[in-house]
């Protein structure tokens, strides 16, 4: 078509066809590519050309370069695996500076009775009665006469205890005295507490079958 133009065929259609054929070449293919990407693409092409030239011109050096790159890749992967392992290990093990929770002290009936007598000696009779009743509940639980739980109130313990008739009434009387002194404001002196503690310390019996 270009030859036709040179020979004198200068019609608009011939001219348009000639221009289309010229601008269809790769030299005139424009693309709006960002500068960083274009530079990276050019650098990558140059690197590929250099490697191809090195492989063709000096195969021994090319093989050494490939081996060095493989060793570097293995080292990078090994380092990454080591970092991940250290992170998981440090997260699984407790920090030495972090204090571990202290072992919970097992408090039996004797401990509550001692604390109750100590509170009574300090004049805190209401607290003493409550502590001593916990000791009593634990004693009944150990004897199989009550299933004690810290959430149960003294009145609930009195209703659920498996006691003989006289012992059941004695327990109810102890609960009434506890409520009257600890929550009702009724005075309870040292002698009252001593008698209350003596009733607590008397033997307890299961109902006869």
For 100-153, write each residue's pLDDT tens digit.
Answer: 544 555 689 999 999 999 999 998 998 999 999 999 999 999 999 999 988 999
The pLDDT, as a whole number, for residue 173 is 92
Give the pLDDT confidence of 78-106 residue by residue, as tens digits.
888 888 888 887 766 555 554 554 455 56
| Contact (CB, 8 A) for 150 and 130 | no
The upper half-sphere exposure of residue 51, i.e. CA atoms within 13 Å in the direction of its Cβ, equals 10
Question: Average pLDDT for residues 164-172, to the nearest whole number?
Answer: 92
Banded pLDDT at 6 (limits 50, 70, 90): very low
C-alpha separations of 7 from 1, 11, 14, 17, 20 in Å = 10, 12, 12, 15, 19
- How is residue 122 annotated by DSSP? T
Q: What are phi and psi of 191, to 5 degrees?
A: -70, -40
Banded pLDDT at 52 (limits 50, 70, 90): confident
C-alpha dihedral sign at 59, 65, 68, 74: negative
The pLDDT, as a whole number, for residue 140 is 93
The alpha carbon of 205 is separated from its chain's Cα centroid by a whole number of angstroms, namely: 49
């Amino acid at each position: 078509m270009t030859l036709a133009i040179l020979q004198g065929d200068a019609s608009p259609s011939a001219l348009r066809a000639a221009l289309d054929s010229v601008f269809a070449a790769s030299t005139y293919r424009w693309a709006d590519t960002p500068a960083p990407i274009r530079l990276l693409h050019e650098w990558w092409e140059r690197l590929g050309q250099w490697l191809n030239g090195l492989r063709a011109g000096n195969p021994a050096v090319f093989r050494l370069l490939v081996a060095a790159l493989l060793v570097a890749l293995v080292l990078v992967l090994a380092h990454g695996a080591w970092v991940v392992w250290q992170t998981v290990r440090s997260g699984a093990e407790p920090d030495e500076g972090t204090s571990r929770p202290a072992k919970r002290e097992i408090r039996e009936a004797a401990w509550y009775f001692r604390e109750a007598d100590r509170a009574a000696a300090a004049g805190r009779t209401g607290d003493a009665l409550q502590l001593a009743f916990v000791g009593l509940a634990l004693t009944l639980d150990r004897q199989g006469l009550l299933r004690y739980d810290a959430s149960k109130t003294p009145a609930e313990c009195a209703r659920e205890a498996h006691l003989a008739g006289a012992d059941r009434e004695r327990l109810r009387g102890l609960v009434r005295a506890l409520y009257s002194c600890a929550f009702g404001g009724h005075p309870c002196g040292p002698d009252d507490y001593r008698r209350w503690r003596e009733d607590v310390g008397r033997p307890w019996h299961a109902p006869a079958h």
